[in-house]
Chain A
C-alpha cells in the first residue's frame, strides 16, 4: 500500500515537474542568465513597453464589460424564465471550445473587405488591424469565465432571501446590491481574475485580427513571438518572464480567493 502510494506520488510530482515547473523555471533562468540589467533593458525598449501598455489597455476595456455582461447572463441563465436557455448556455460555452484562430478569422470575415460590416473601414473607422478589432476578439475569447463562475453559486444560494427582500419592499436594484451581489462577489472576483488572465495572454485570435504591426498593434504575447522569430531570444525570454510573473500573480490571487468562495454557500445552508 505505502509503496504504491509513494509510486503514485512520485509519478504525479515527476510529471508536473517535467511538464510545468522545470520549463517555467528554466525560462526564468534563460531570461536572467546575462544579468538582471540585460533583461530589464530588453523589456523596457519602446516596442516592449508599447506592447505591454496595449495589452493592459485591452484588458482594461474588456474585463469590466465582460464582468457586467457575465453577471447579467449568469442571472438570466439561472433565474430567467424564457425559451432558449439551453441554447444560451451552449453559446456562452462556445468560446471555451473554439480555436482562437477561428475566432480571429470570423472577425476578419465580418469586418474585412466584402464582409457584412466591412463598410466601417470606408467611413474611417478602422476595426481590423487596429484596437477595436483586438478588443472585440479578446472580448469573444474571455466572455465565459465570469458566467461559469457565477452560475453555480447562484444555483446554490436559491431565491429565498431575494424574495424576502422583495416582500419587504426592496426594489430590484436594491435587492441585487444588498442580497444577490454580496453572495456572488467571490465568484465574480474569481471570474474577473480568470478573464484578466485570458485577456492578457490571448494570442491566436488577436494575432489573426491585429496585423501584428510593431509598436502599433503588437500586444505582449505577439511581441514575444516576434522577438523569437527575429532571433532575439533574450528579448523573447525577458518578455515571457513579465507575462509569467503576471500569470503567477493570477494563480496566487485565485488561491487567496478560493477559501472565501465557500462563504456564500455556507450562508445559504
Chain B
C-alpha cells in the first residue's frame, strides 16, 4: 500500500505544493541556526594544535573513562531492571498498576537537578536510612539510573504488548520451563527493543549533567564525569580544553545514534517477517 501511495501521490503534490517547500525551508534554516551552527562553531574551535593535548590531559582521560564505565554499568542495570519492570507492567495484574505505569514517566518530566537533589536528600549525609553514597561512584550510578529509567521500559513495553502468548502457551504445553520459554521465545522477540532502549539510556547517561552535579561531588579522578569536567573547564575559562573533550563526547553520541538507527531498522525488519 505504501508503494502505491508514493507512486500516485508524488507528481500531483509536487506540482501543487508551493507553500510546503517554503515552510520546510524556513524550518531547515531554524534547525541550522539553532542546532548546526553552534555545533559547527564548537568543532571549528578545536582546529588549533592543542586539540590532542587538551583531549588527553590525565584528568580528561580519567573523566572520560569513568563516564563510559559508569554509563555502561547504568545501561546494563537498565537492561535487566527495565525488562523486568516492562514485563510486570504488561503481564502481571495487581491493584495500582496504572499508577505504577504513570510513575515511569516521572524521570522524563522531573528537572534533572531536582532528581539529583531528591537522591541526595535520601541517600546523602543525614539521610533517614543511614545510607550515604554522596560523592561516591555508587551515588553517581543512582543518579544515572534515576534519569534513564524510562528508556528500556518504554521501548520494551509496546513490543511485549503486541507479542502473542500463543507461542509461549504452546511451549509450556510441550513441557518447557518458564525460564526456557523466556530465553527461547520471549527474549529473542524483545532483544531489538531492549538494545535500542539500552542505547538510548547509555547515550543519556554519557551526557547527563544536572542529576550528577550535586550527588557526585565532582572529585577529579574519582567522581568527575566528562560533562562535569567540561563545565568546570568552561567556568575556569579554558574553552579549548572544554571543547576538545566535548568533540570526543559528540563523536561518541553520534556513534550511539547510528547504533540506535541500526537497532530500529532491525526491529522493523523483524516486524515485516
Question: A residues touching B (Cβ–Cβ < 8 Å)?
Answer: 1, 4-5, 8-9, 11-13, 15-16, 19-24, 26-27, 30, 65, 69, 72-73, 75-76, 79-81, 88, 90-110, 112, 115-117, 136, 139-140, 143, 158-160, 163, 166, 172-173, 194, 197, 200-204, 207-208, 220-222, 224-225, 228, 236-237, 240, 243-244, 246-248, 250-252, 254-255
Contact = CB atoms under 8 A, between A and B. Distances in A.
Given A23-B118, A240-B117, A254-B105, A110 B37 contact: yes
B174 interface: no
B167 interface: no
Interface in B244-265: 246, 249-250, 253-254, 256-258, 260-261
Given A8-B84, A69-B31, A203-B209, A255 B38 contact: no
Contact of A115 (B30, B41, B102): B41
From A11, A106, A108, residue with most partner B Cβ within 10 Å: A106
A92 B257 CA distance: 11
Contacts of A194: 108
A135 to B, nearest CB: 10
Q: Is the interface of B mostly helix, strand, loop or mixed?
A: helix
Contacts of B175: none
Interface stretch (B13-21, B53-61, B132-140, B189-197): B13-21
B100 A69 contact: no
Given A197-B108, A201-B109, 11 more contacts: A81-B10, A94-B35, A96-B200, A105-B230, A106-B38, A108-B234, A117-B37, A203-B210, A204-B227, A224-B114, A240-B117
B88 interface: yes
Nearest to B77: A15
Closest A-B pairs by Cβ, 8 of them: A99-B207, A201-B111, A203-B210, A106-B38, A204-B209, A247-B109, A110-B41, A250-B109
A147 B42 CA distance: 25
B203 interface: yes
Nearest to A206: B210
Q: Is the interface of A mostly helix, strand, loop or mixed?
A: helix
A100 to B, nearest CB: 6
A195 to B, nearest CB: 12
Contacts of B16: 166, 172
Contacts, number: 274
A192 B206 CA distance: 26
A102 B27 contact: no
B35 A95 contact: yes
Contacts of A72: 23-24, 26-27
B38 A109 contact: yes
Interface string B104-124: 111111111110011101110
Contact of B210 (A65, A140, A204): A204
B149 A102 contact: no
B84 A12 contact: yes
Interface in B135-189: 142, 145-146, 149, 178
B42 A93 contact: no
A81 B94 contact: no
Nearest to B96: A13
A26 B122 CA distance: 7
B76 to A, nearest CB: 14
A221 B5 CA distance: 48
Contacts of A250: 105, 109
A105 B234 contact: yes
B85 A237 contact: no
A8 B231 CA distance: 40
Given A172-B17, A225-B214, A243 B111 contact: yes
Contacts of B261: 90
B40 to A, nearest CB: 8
Contacts of A207: 231
Contacts of B26: 72
23 contacts: A9-B88, A19-B142, A23-B118, A72-B24, A72-B26, A75-B24, A88-B28, A94-B39, A95-B35, A97-B257, A99-B246, A101-B227, A105-B243, A116-B37, A140-B35, A160-B5, A166-B16, A172-B17, A172-B20, A203-B113, A221-B113, A228-B214, A244-B114
B30 A27 contact: no
Contact of A16 (B20, B35, B38, B85): B85
